[in-house]
Amino acid sequence: MTHCHTILNELRLRGYRITPQRELIIRAVAHSPHHITAEEIAEKFQGNINIATVYRTLDLLWQEGFARRNDLSEGKTFYATFQHGPHIHLVCRKCSKVIDANIQVVNSLSEDLSMNYQFKPDLDHLSIFGVCSECQE
């Protein structure tokens, strides 16, 4: 049972219809070796899937918790599934460099937010803006 099928089955269970477009888009995100944009997915299918459908499906995956969305300060939104393994993105607002940080730095944060706010945070691909060591001069 691949990652894709887990997502598809779970979506079906939650009452969503599984269309060929959704299958393709989900496969593309889950199998992409890097965080991916809506544009890249649409290109991959050369106009066979409308870009609006791509955006809607990515939004669905995000809402249902199967994908994370990230603003990496490049003017577009990047998506990734859990396939990627958790990590934090430290995005420098001066030079735009992105440093991947270990997820451990937010372990206590996760507990705090659950405990004090009953909020279940998506922290496995969190983006944090700031200034990197080189840019602090």
**What residues line the site for DNA (CB under 7 A)?**
12, 16-22, 37-39, 48-53, 55-57, 59, 75-77
The structure tokens 């969305």 sit at: 69
- Establish if 51 lies at the interface with its own copies (CB under 8 A): no
Binding string to its own copies for residues 67 to 96, with x set by CB under 8 A, is what?
--x-x------------------x-xxx--
- Binding region for its own copies (CB under 8 A) out of 9-17, 22-30, 49-57, 103-111: 103-111
Could you give the 3-state DSSP secondary structure of residue 2? coil
Output the smallest distance, CB 9 to its own copies, in A.
20
Could you give the 3-state DSSP secondary structure of residue 119? coil
Find the distance separating the first CA and the last CA of the chain, reported in whole Å.
50
Output the smallest distance, CB 83 to DNA, in A.
21
The structure tokens 């992409």 sit at: 32
Cβ within 8 Å of residue 18, ≥6 positions away: 8, 11, 12
